[in-house]
Structure 1
């Protein structure tokens, strides 16, 4: 009798697993096709595997920047472990094997269309490196002394630089500085036409170097200065070899955020 019960339980779980695998097979097909497309740099095709909500909130340029900075453009294969779905929502987790032998943990969320096909709703890549648990907001308030001239933290400054350099790198790769120019301040866009921006950075386009690799490095801030006219000027470099990548970036506040107003790049 116990043997029959055990067999029945095993059979039940086998059916459940089979149903989950069947229910999520469309998700794996979708994300595998998406990753194959980005590895071939066929971003128009990759865009077809994304949901409407995804494409409305993420431009093609932003997608390219994410793919390159996360290493997904080096996709070789994928193995998917945890899977779940409920109604028209689904989620899978797995590991992406890259062409250079790396492994990238990835979580992908999906939404189901009326025709039964799955589209990617969100892509989440775990942050690598050492991570420190954030303090609670209450502790932050208690530990932060009031100041009339608040200063951006090193992490904020580095994030600002990395964002600008990534916009620069993606634009140079495309040989079109629109992505960088569109992210800049209104004063920059008024003073620098797209034609002028393309001409100004033409020498970097001619190098045919993928500068998006800098997004995997940390910028070194050599100096930062707040000018009397409100500009924030950051001087720094990346420890690239054989030559270092130097930058001088000027920002100005617009609508409460720092926006690019001038950028000088030098490799020496």
Structure 2
């Protein structure tokens, strides 16, 4: 009886076509269809992709931020999405990298890319960790390479100036400075500055570890090594002129002396070894978030809210000069002005209407020496006549980076005393700290 079986309940012979036992009525389990039969757990292996896992790994490693590995396996949509998002800012690339090295990355048809076979959990963990660390190192190197590439124009200008100085061509070195720099710093002043710091002219090598670009301004910081081995920390600030970077400011760090932005070079007080000694007194305006140092023979008054005036004491050479700091609320804080330009325009209007013989000598971009990256603005140098006497004034207008207020810092002196007291004013300005 081919195809016959027996009932599991009563052992009655059954035909293969019988659904139930004719004797006891039990269900013929040997005749269950595939869908009705008791199911067994069956492991269905996914098919292996014809795409090379090694190729996908390399594409992910070097071009993952462009989605190249996903485009390679046919995942066009997500590949383009990775391209737009720069690899999900690197996170998506890292996730795909781990999937590839653990044999869990699929192609468009769902096929697995097999990188390794029968790897132990320990070996897999080692592969994942080493691959991720290698990728992170490559990512950092790529970011640094991009930074150096996009800021290479800054260093290009500085390098050419240093090369010109090495060969003794001062005129050519001067040509790499900006128009604003040249307006108020003559080539003779430039030569005096170089004579003051021979390590710049006698440089043998240089290294710049900080390069930053913000709009049309650039900031470079590094170290010059002279032929005698002496190392000099130096800072440069540059501005874009006609698509070319030009030097706006050079600052030699150790002594605090510098060619201030578009301001004539002046030597620091030579009788004092440090700023704390030359400016022993410290004024702190905690409510206005700044502090500044001033000389021992100076005093200060506060004629109005937010205004401080420093001046030489009676009987001193600086009695007729003053340094004025004013804190001006922005429109954001309920004040009158919303930009530095509005303050400058208002100052020019006051000069033309309230002062006699007013003349603007120079104007340009300025910065706070203690923190040039956070606080910068504009400056003006002008002269005017008051009660028959001619005065000269240097004024900086600085904006807070939180846009809550502006600061004006002004040095005013009779014209014949301006240059004499400028080193003191400059030292005070360089000590000014805004929080």
Select which of 137, 145, 152 maps to 2:283: 137
* 2:137 equivalent to 1:39: no
2:140 to 13, 16, 25: 13
Deviations 1:194-247 (A, max 9, x none): xxxxxxxxxxxxxxxxxxxxxxxxxxxxxxxxxxxxxxxxxxxxxxxxxxxxxx
* Structure of greater relative contact order (alpha carbons < 8 Å, 6+ residues apart): 1
Which position in structure 1 is the counterpart of 2:218? 90
What is the alpha-carbon distance in structure 2 between the residues aligned to residue 8 and residue 130 of structure 1? 50
What is the TM-score normalised by the length of structure 1? 0.50
Q: Secondary structure at the match of 1:150?
A: coil
Instruction: Give me the CA root mean square deviation.
Output: 3.3
Q: Does the 8 Å CA contact 1:50/1:119 hold for their aligned counterparts?
A: yes
Identify the match of residue 124 of structure 1 among 248, 251, 254.
Answer: 251
Residue of 183, 186, 189 corresponding to 1:59: 186
Q: CA deviation at 1:15?
A: 1.9
Q: How does 1:144-155 map to 2 (within 5 A)?
A: 148-150=314-316
C-alpha displacement at 1:137, in angstroms?
3.3
Q: In the aligned structure 2, how far is the partner of 1:114 from the partner of 1:64?
A: 26
> Is 40-49 or 136-145 further displaced after alignment?
136-145
Deviation of residue 258 (structure 1)? 7.2
Report the alpha carbon displacement of residue 118 of structure 1 after superposing the two structures with TM.
Answer: 1.7
Q: Distance in 2 between matches of 1:31 and 1:148?
A: 46
Gaps of 5+ in 2: 1-97, 99-127, 256-271, 285-292, 300-311, 319-412, 421-435
Separation in structure 2 between the aligned mates of residue 111 and residue 105 of structure 1, nearest angstrom: 21
- Using the TM superposition, give the Cα deviation of residue 109 of structure 1 relative to its aligned residue in structure 2, in angstroms: 1.2
Aligned residue number for residue 102 of structure 1? 230
**CA–CA distance in structure 1, aligned partners of residues 250 and 275 of structure 2:** 23
Which digits, 9 at most, give the CA deviation of each residue in 1:174-196, with x for residues without a partner? Answer: xxxxxxxxxxxxxxxxxxxxxxx
Q: 1:143 to 1:83 in 2, by over 3 A?
A: same
Instruction: After TM superposition, give the deviation of residue 149 of structure 1 in Å.
Output: 1.5
**Aligned length in residues:** 160
Q: Quote the Cα distance in structure 2 between the aligned partners of 1:108 and 1:118.
A: 11
- Secondary structure (helix, strand or coil) at the match of 1:257 reads helix
1:31-65 deviations in whole A, cap 9, x for unaligned?
A: 12111212333122112211111111210000000
Distance change (3 Å), C-alpha of 1:136 and 1:50: same
Which protein shows a greater Rg?
2
Match of 2:425 in 1: none
Whichever structure has more helix as a proportion of its residues is 1
Aligned equivalents of 1:94, 1:68: Cα separation in 2: 20
Structure 1, unmatched stretches of 5+, are 153-252, 261-268
TM-score (norm 2): 0.32
Q: Residue in 2 aligned with 1:160?
A: none
Question: Partners in 1 of 2:245 and 2:313 — Cα distance?
Answer: 51
- Partners of 2:156 and 2:294 in 1: CA distance: 45
Query: Aligned-pair distance for 1:7?
Result: 4.1
Cα distance change, pair 93–150 in 1 and its aligned pair in 2 (3 A): same
